[in-house]
Amino acid sequence: MAHASVADIFAGKYTVGEHVTVKGWVRTRRDSKAGLSFVALHDGSCFDAIQVIALNTLENYADITRLTTSCSIIAKGKLQASEGQGQALEIDADSLEIVGWVESPDTYPMAPKRHSMEYLREHAHLRPRTNVMGAVTRVRNCLSQAIHRFYHERGYCWISTPILTASDTEGAGEMFRVSTLDMLNVPTTEQGAVDYSQDFFGKETFLTVSGQLNVETYCTAMSKVYTFGPTFRAENSNTSRHLAEFWMIEPEVAFADLADVAQLAEDMLKYVFKAVLTERADDMAFFAERIKPDAVTRLEQVISQDFVRMNYTDAIEILQNCGKKFEFPVSWGVDLSSEHERYLAEEHVGAPIIMQNYPKDIKAFYMRINDDGKTVAAMDILAPGIGEIIGGSQREERLDVFDQRLAEMGLNKEDYSWYRDLRRYGTVPHSGFGLGFERLVAYVTGMQNVRDVIPFPRTPGNASY
C-alpha cells in the first residue's frame, strides 16, 4: 500500500522531482503522434485524475495504446509540473503496469459517454466509477463525517436505536414485517390469526420507521444524544424524494425546548455545509458545472443567512393574503403542501424558514401541547429549492397531558408503558428533530433524485444487488 493517492499528490504532499507510485483506473487515454500517450488515472480519492505520460520507449507501450476506460493500472515515475491544462502536476512514467483489462470495451456498460441517471441506476454496481457518482460518494462521506463531528464536539452520544422492533408504538401501517416463518405454512392461533409466538422474536416484528421514541430513553439519562442509522417506510411512493430504506439523523436533547433545537438544527446545517465547501471544493465545482449551477452559491447563501422563525398561524395568513393561486387551498388547520412551503421559503422570505407551532391535529401524539391548547411545539425547516428538510418538536413531558392526548387520539395507554415511564420517573422537558440524510445529500449536490445519492436505492419493485 506504499503508494500515493491522487488526492495527496494534488494536495502537495509530494514534491516535484520525487518518484511516486500511483494505482487506480484509466479515465481516458490519448495518444500523441510524437510517440507518447497521456493516460488519466483516477483512484477515487478526489475528483480529478492525474495525467501519466507514457513514452513509446516503455517495453509494454503497445499494450498501453490499447488501454480503455476502467482498465486498472499501476504507474511509477517522476512527479513533474504539467504544461497542459488542468492539474499542475503529472507523472512521467518509468513503468505503467496493466493490472486488469476491461473485457470487450465496446460493450462495457460504463464506457465514457453520457449516461442517463436511470441507466446508471440499472448498473448500480458499476456507477461508482462515473464522475458523478464518485463526487456524490465523497460528498456523502464528507457530510456523514461532519455530522458525527458536529455532535461529538458538542458532547452528544451516538445511540444505535434498534432496527428490528416488536413495539406497537409506531403505527404499523407503513412498516415492513420481518419474519422467519415459513410463508407456505404460516402457523395460526385458534382464533385464526397468525401465531407470531412461533416466529423468531415471539411477536410480530417490523423494521423501524424512526429511532425517536427509543432514543428518548437515552436522552433522559445521557442528556444529549443522537441517532444516525437506517430507517424504513413500506410506502408505495415512486417519487424523487422517497426511498423505502434511507438514513436518518435524530438528535434528542434533555432540558431543551423547541427554540433550542431549532437553533441546533440551524447550527448543524451551517456546520455541515461549511465542511462540504471546504473539504470537497472539487466535487462541488463539478456539481455547479454539470448538475446545478447554483450548487455552491446557495450553500454559501444559507450559511450567511439567519434562518427565519415563523409561526404556522402567521404563515397561513401570509399565504391567504399573497394573491397567489395555489392548487391546494389554504386555511388554518391544513397541512402545508410543497407549493406553500416553496412559496414561503423561495418567494416570500428568500431564506430557510423554521416554521413553528402547528395545529395539534396534523401532528404526532408525542408533541408538546402549547398553552393555547390548539397548537403543538413542532417545527419544520423549509429550505429554498427543496422544501422540508428537517422536522422536529418538543416532546410532551407532562404525564397527565400526555395521557389525555393519547385518550383523545384513541390510543391505548398500555401500548406506551415504557414511553410513559420516562414521564413517571424524573421527567424533563426535551426536544429533538429528524433529518433525512439522503434529502440532505440531494440538497447539497443538487442531484434531482434521492435514488442517486445512496449506493443501492430501495424502492417499490427494486432491491437488487
Residue 77 or 387 with smaller CB distance to its own copies: 77
Instruction: Check residue 329 for interaction with its own copies (CB under 8 A).
Output: no
Q: Which of 366, 361, 324 is nearest to 344 (CA)?
A: 324
Nearest to 216 by CA among 418, 435, 436: 418
Burial class (CB in 10 A: 0-12, 13-18, 19+), 463: exposed
Among 113, 193, 306, 400, binds its own copies (CB under 8 A): 193
Tell me how far, at minimum, the Cβ of 326 lies from its own copies, in Å: 33
Cα Rg for the chain, rounded, in angstroms?
Answer: 27
Q: Candidates 58-66, 84-92, 119-127, 343-351: pick the segment binding its own copies (CB under 8 A).
A: 119-127
Exposure b/e, 161-191, CB count within 10 A at least 16 = b: beeebebebbeeeebbebbeeeeeeeeeeee
If one asks whether residue 110 binds its own copies (CB under 8 A), the answer comes out as: yes
Residue 217 or 320: which CB sits closer to its own copies? 217
Residue from 223, 313, 320, 448 that binds its own copies (CB under 8 A)? 223
Interface region with its own copies, contact rule CB under 8 A, candidates 33-41, 82-90, 176-184, 375-383? 176-184
Task: List b or e across 411-423, with b for residues whose CB sees 16 or more CB atoms inside 10 angstroms.
Answer: beeeebeebbebb
In whole angstroms, how close is the CB of 345 to its own copies at the nearest point?
26
Near its own copies by CB under 8 A: residue from 103, 106, 327, 400 = 103
How many residues touch its own copies (CB under 8 A)? 112
For the bound state, the minimum distance from the C-beta of residue 108 to its own copies, rounded and expressed in Å, comes to 6
* 176/385 with CB nearer its own copies: 176
3-state secondary structure of 230: strand
Q: How far is the CB of 320 from its own copies (least distance, A)?
A: 35
Stretch that binds its own copies, among 58-66, 222-230, 294-302, 324-332 (CB under 8 A): 222-230
Q: Which of residues 392-421 bind its own copies (CB under 8 A)?
A: 397, 418-419, 421
CB 22 within 8 A of CB 3: yes
CB-based contact 419:169 (threshold 8 Å): yes
The Cα–Cα gap between 392 and 409 comes to 20
Asked if 157 touches its own copies (CB under 8 A), the answer is yes
**Closest separation between CB of residue 356 and its own copies, Å?**
17
Q: Segment near its own copies (CB under 8 A), from 12-20, 124-132, 291-299, 313-321? A: 124-132
Q: Does 221 sit near its own copies (CB under 8 A)?
A: yes
Q: Using the rule CB under 8 A, give the single segment among 81-89, 184-192, 358-366, 386-394 that binds its own copies.
A: 184-192
From the CB of 213, what's the least distance to its own copies, in Å?
A: 9
Q: Given the complex with its own copies, which of 108 and 365 has the nearer CB atom?
A: 108
Task: Give, as ranges, the residues between 44 and 63 that touch its own copies (CB under 8 A).
Answer: 44-45
Cα–Cα distances (Å) from 232 to 16, 211, 242, 458, in that order, read 51, 11, 10, 10
Exposure of 386 by Cβ count < 10 A (0-12 exposed, 13-18 middle, 19+ buried)? buried
8-state DSSP, 156 = P
| Interaction between residue 427 and its own copies (CB under 8 A) | yes
Rule CB under 8 A: say whether 131 interacts with its own copies: no
Figure out which of the listed residues 49, 79, 248, 254 binds its own copies, where binding follows CB under 8 A: 254
Contact call for residue 173 and its own copies (CB under 8 A): no
Amino acid at the residue 188: T
Host H or E run for residue 227:
strand 224-232
Q: Which three cell numbers stand for residue 133?
A: 457518482
- Which of 59, 58, 52, 46 lies closest to 74 in space, CA to CA? 52
